[in-house]
Amino acid sequence: MQQIKKITLLAVLACGSMALCAQQAQQKKVEIKHLTEAEFIQKVYDVNAGDKAVFKGKKSVIVDFYADWCGPCKRLAPYLEQALVDYKGKIEIYKVNVDKEKALAQKFGVSSIPLLLFFPVKGKPKQVLGFRPKEEIYGYIEELLLKTEK
């Protein structure tokens, strides 16, 4: 019984936190741009350039590979929207729908979602698979994207 209470409390706290993030992002009218493969190549990284591929952005980028039907993707979305608000001017965040952009997802070997790709301005992209809590996402932003710019 005690275990059930703990799980219920954690679920309530997680929902409250996600709802708060979504509400704050909504108030600031934040919408993460969805990219097609052509836009991805233009704004982030030319996946067709092989070894000569270079990062195209002026700021570090997070790309969220997701699907509309994916529960963990839906839970992750408010955290990314809030990160876009909290790190405004420092990073860009984009979304790629794996059902609509199958070829692009395949080029990155996306076989499970959500998958976050972190593209620092300098350095190699890193990927993080699966749902992550807000604090962990912010830690990745600080460590993988912002630390490398200093």
Alpha helix stretches (DSSP H) within the chain: 2-27, 37-43, 71-86, 102-107, 134-140
Residue 21 annotated as catalytic: no
- Which entry of 35, 73, 84, 117 is annotated as an active-site residue? 73
Structural contact between residues 97 and 67, judged by C-beta atoms closer than 8 angstroms: yes
- Which one of the listed residues 30, 32, 70, 91 is annotated catalytic? 70
CA distance 61 to 148: 13
Q: What are the backbone dihedrals phi and psi of residue 96, each rounded to the nearest 5 degrees, phi first?
A: -130, 120
Sign of CA dihedral 36, 38, 42, 48: positive
Is 73 a catalytic site residue?
A: yes
SS percent in the chain: helix, strand, coil, step 5: 50, 20, 35
Point out the residues that are catalytic.
70, 73
